[in-house]
A and B are shown apart, each in its own frame.
Chain A
Amino acid sequence: MVDLLQRFGRGWIGAFERFGRATLFLLQVIIGLPSLFGRGFLLVKQLYSTGVMTLLIILVSGLFVGMVLALQGYNSLVRFSAEEALGQFVALVLFRELAPVLTALLFAGRAGSAMTSEIGLMKATEQLAGLEMMAVDPYKRVYAPRLLAAFIAVPALTAMFGAVAILGGHLVGVEMLGVDAGAYWSQMQSEVSFRHDVLSGMLKALVFGFVICWIAIFEGADCIPTSEGVSSATTRTVVYSSLAVLGLDFVLTALMF
C-alpha cells in the first residue's frame, strides 16, 4: 500500500517537474522570438514546412467535413421543413467548433509529430549540441521560428478549412439536395456574427496552434536521444496535443459562448 502511494506520489512529482521544465523552456523560446526580426527567412521556411505542407490534408478534410455536415444537417432540418437554415447550420458548427478543433487535431498529427521527430533526431544526431558549440542558440534558431510559424499557420489553416467546408456544404446541400442557393448564403450572412462566431473560432485556433507547437517542440527537445526515445516523444506529442486541444476547446467554449 505504502509502495503504491509512493509510486503515485513519484508519478505526480515527476509530472509537475516536467511541466515546470516545459514552462521554463517556453519562456526561453518566447525570449528568443525578437531575434526573428530581420531573419524572416527562418519563419518563411517553417511556415512552408508546417503550414503549406499541411494545406492539402486540411483542404481535403474540410471539403469532406462540409459535405457530411450538409448531408446530416439536411436530413435533420428537412423534417421540420427548415432546410433553408442549412447554410447557417453549416457555418455556425464550422466556425465555432469543427474548423478550429479538426484543423488543430490534423495539424498536431501532421505538423506537430513532424516537428517533434525532427527536433528529436537533431538531438540524437548531436546537431543541437553542434549548434550550441557554434554559439548558435537553438532557442532562437530552431524553436522560436517554429512556435511563431504554428501561431500563424493554425488560424490561417482554420480559415481555409472553414471556407472549403462551406463550399463542400454548398456542393451537397445546394447542388445535390436542392436547397435554394440564395437561402443557403443569405441565412448564413444574416445569422453568423463575424465577431462572435468567426473571430471566436479564430481565437481558439490561435490558442490551439500555440499549445500544439509548445508540446511538439518541448517533447522533441526533451526526448531521450535514441530511436525509441524519439518515437515515444512523437507519440506523446500527438496524444498530449489532441487531449489539450479537446480540453481547451471545452474551457474556451464555456468562456466564449
Chain B
Amino acid sequence: MSNVITLDENAESLVKIRDLHFQRGSKQIFRGIEMDLPRGQITTIMGPSGTGKTTLLKLIGGQLKPAKGSIEVDGQNVPKLSRSALYALRKRMGMLFQSGALLTDLTVFDNVAFPVREHTDLPESLVRHLVLMRLHAVGLRGARDLYPAELSGGMARRVALARALILDPTMIMYDEPFTGQDPISMGVLLDLIKTVNSALGLTSIIVSHDLHESMSISDYVVIVSDGVVVEAGTPEALRASESPWVQQFLQGKSDGPVPFQLEAPDYRDDLLGAKHG
C-alpha cells in the first residue's frame, strides 16, 4: 500500500494497522488510519484531545473492536483472535493506563506481584525479588505496604509501570505516563522508559501530550488528527516539517489550521440566542 506511513524502512514492524475505522455513537473516531510501528523502537502518538489516542491503544490491545480494518500485532490480527488467543497475546503486552488501574484491595507490593502470581508458579522468594527490583526502579520500594488510595496520581502511575514491566513484555503501551510527575520523577521515568526499551528490546508505544519529554526519548512520532494520520517521522523530521498543522501543534499556537474550539454554533448567535431563550 502506497499511502501507509512506515516509520522505518529497515525495521521490522511489530504493529501493522490497515484501513482502521472506528466510531463511537455517531462520532467517527478513525477514518482509515494506516501505520506500521517498528519493533524495538519507541513511538509516540500525539494529537489534539479527543482524537482517539487512548482508543487506538485499546484497539491494539483488543479491548475494542474496529468497525473495519485490521490491526496486526506480531503477525496476529487482533480483532479476529479468539478469546484464548487474545489472552495469550496479551501476556506479551504491557499496558500502563492513564489512571494506573491498580487493584484497590491489594497493596502496592501485591499489585506489582499480581501478574507474576497469576501467570507463573515462581516461588514467593523470587516474586519478592522481582517486585522489589521493579519498585526500586520506579523509586517506590518504600511504598510497598501502601494501598493505591494512599498514593498520589503520579505515584500510582509509577506503580502501574512497575506492574506493566514485571513480566518482561514484548511490547508496552503507555497512556499518558508523564502526567502528574514532579521534575525528578519525570527525569527518572524518561530514563527508565528509554533504558528498558533498549536493554530488554521492548517496543514502546507512548500516548502523550508532553511534547518535549516524549519527543526527547522517542525514535518516531506519529501525529493523529480528525481520524487520520497527519504526519509521522523522527522527532527531528517533525521539528523541521513545513506543515502548518505540525508547526501549530508543536508550538502550541491557538491560531492555525487546527481549531482550538470544538465545532459549535456561531459564538455571537449562541450568546444572543441564550439571552432570548
Contacts and interface: CB of A to CB of B under 8 A. Distances in A.
B112 to A, nearest CB: 11
A129 B102 CA distance: 10
A155 B37 CA distance: 55
Interface stretch (A130-138, A161-169, A242-250): A130-138
Interface in A99-125: 125
A4 B97 CA distance: 44
A130 B97 contact: yes
A125 B115 CA distance: 18
A133 B93 contact: yes
Interface string A127-149: 10111111111000100000000
B87 interface: yes
B88 A135 contact: yes
A126 interface: yes
B141 interface: no
Dominant SS among interface residues on chain B: mixed
A134 B114 CA distance: 9
Contact of B99 (A126, A131, A132, A137): A126
Nearest to B84: A137
A137 B97 contact: no
Contacts, number: 50
Given A134-B118, A135-B119, A129 B63 contact: yes
A125 B104 contact: yes
B194 interface: no
Interface string B31-73: 0000000000000000000000000001001010000000000
18 contacts: A125-B104, A126-B98, A126-B99, A126-B101, A127-B101, A129-B63, A129-B101, A132-B90, A133-B63, A133-B94, A133-B95, A135-B87, A135-B88, A135-B91, A135-B115, A135-B119, A136-B114, A136-B118
Given A130-B102, A134-B115, A135-B90, 14 more contacts: A125-B101, A125-B104, A126-B97, A126-B99, A127-B101, A127-B102, A129-B101, A131-B103, A132-B90, A133-B90, A133-B97, A135-B91, A135-B118, A136-B115
A193 to B, nearest CB: 44
A136 B58 CA distance: 16
Which of under 10, 10 to 19, 20 to 34, or 35 or more describes the interface residues of A? Answer: 10 to 19
Nearest to A133: B95
A129 to B, nearest CB: 6
Contacts of A132: 61, 63, 90
Contact of A127 (B90, B95, B103): B103
B99 A125 contact: yes
A82 B266 CA distance: 84
Interface of B: 58, 61, 63, 83, 87-88, 90-91, 93-95, 97-99, 101-104, 114-115, 118-119, 160, 163
B101 A137 contact: no
Contacts of B163: 134
Nearest to B167: A134
Contact of B101 (A130, A135, A141): A130
Contacts of A131: 103
B61 A133 contact: yes
A125 B99 CA distance: 7
Contacts of A133: 61, 63, 90, 93-95, 97
A125 B97 CA distance: 10
A129 B90 contact: no
Contacts of B61: 132-133
B99 to A, nearest CB: 5
A123 B248 CA distance: 37
A239 to B, nearest CB: 27
A125 B101 CA distance: 6
Contacts of A135: 87-88, 90-91, 115, 118-119
A23 B135 CA distance: 42
Contact of B97 (A129, A136, A141): A129
A130 B111 CA distance: 11
Contacts of B95: 130, 133
A130 B83 CA distance: 16
Interface in A166-193: none
Nearest to A130: B101
A123 to B, nearest CB: 11
Contacts of A126: 97-99, 101
A137 B63 contact: no
Contact of A134 (B83, B90, B98): B90
A136 B90 CA distance: 9
Interface centre among A125, A127, A135, A137 (most CB of B within 10 A): A135
Contacts of B93: 133
Nearest to A118: B105
